[in-house]
Structure 1
Amino acid sequence: MKYAIGVDLGTSSVKVLLVDQNGQVVSSVSKSYPLIQPHPGYSEQDPEQWVEKTIQALKELTEKSGVPRDEIEGLSFSGQMHGLVLLDENLQAIRNAILWNDTRTTEQCKKIDQVLGGKLLEITKNPALEGFTLPKM
């Protein structure tokens, strides 16, 4: 039989799911990681935790299911939206990721709107919102 794995890297945990070719769930695993909130409105996570917990979950999923790995033919991945992960020249994270639900950029959003007026909305079709990446930069 053929199988596929789905990975959902969420805000509170990574969830992995193994399904067979008929869409039946064979096994699932979830691994949580902490939300870092050093100040009101801040919402961050360590990107290395995403990698470590995903690897742990995939190992547990395949071991728990008993499905031979060569029968797993597909992998689907979804992740959080609008997170900012800053990397150095060696592609290593230089700080915690700033998540989509971080609201520290209220003043930056106001400033962007003040300076650009409606130009940002005209070009991108999106206003400067706290959850988006531009204000975080």
Structure 2
Amino acid sequence: MKKLFIFILVCSILFIMGSMVYAYGKTIGFAVSTLANPFFVTMKEGGEAKAKELGIEMVTLDAQDSPEKQVSQVEDLIARKVDVIILNPVDSDAIVTAVMEANEAGIPVITVTRPSKGGVVAQHLDIDNAQAGQMVAQE
């Protein structure tokens, strides 16, 4: 399940960035709510491995469940002029201004597991927790 989710995430990023041909040398910003959650650690590790394989730099920032810290981190990614921001919001309301700032800078935003309640999001990836639980139980 985790590998499939990572594959879908990377494919979505590449689609938004144009194509694999144009992805080489690009930078992805991954702003995660917390790396205390093993799911997000796996996502980070899988994303970094795939990014390296494709010649993409991935910058991961851990908000440690602080909405204020995450807004600041997204603003930092915008200042770094990353090519796309993958965002797992700590708080769907608190992140809106940062998403709008990314929009103004022309940086696509992909949200993961939690949406942003404002701004333009190029893609939202979510998990059906009930189905994921059934799959884990079957393993």
Fold shared per TM-score above 0.5: no
**TM-score, structure 2 normalization:** 0.28
Structure having the higher strand fraction is 1
Structure having the higher helix fraction is 2
